[in-house]
Structure 1
């Protein structure tokens, strides 16, 4: 999942070198933290959060065969 979020984020931003994705796993959930440059934050979130919602939807679909909940946090 980490690689998927990283590829999507790097395609959206102007500074792909500043994209940092970390993944932490707990008992029943996986938390993916996406950090981008402050100037690219708007591009990752999108108008009314549409791009962020789309990223979460893609990750949810990709993780549907896993028995864990995947949470994407954008910082």
Structure 2
């Protein structure tokens, strides 16, 4: 899943080397924290959050077969 997020986000940003995805697992949930360069934050979020929503939709659909709930957070 981490590779999927990186594959989606890296072409969108100016600094792909700054893209980092960290994983936090809980008992019934997995949270992926996406970190990008500050100047790329707007590109990842998009107008009215449309790009971020689209990324989350793809990630949630890909993880639907897992038994745990997936979350994607975009952090600074």
Is 2:12 the counterpart of 1:12?
Answer: yes
Look up the SS of the partner of 1:9 in the other structure.
helix
For residues 19-75 of structure 1, the C-alpha deviation after alignment (integer angstroms, 9 at most, x for no partner) is: 111111111100000000000000000000000000100001001111111000001
Supply the RMSD in Å over aligned alpha carbons: 0.6
Specify every segment of 5 or more residues in structure 2 that has no aligned partner in the other structure, as ranges: none
Number of the residue aligned with 2:67: 67
Establish whether residue 37 from structure 1 lines up as the match of residue 72 from structure 2. no
So what's the TM-score if we normalise by structure 2? 0.95
TM-score, normalised by the number of residues in structure 1: 0.96
Structure 1: state its 5+ residue gaps.
Answer: none
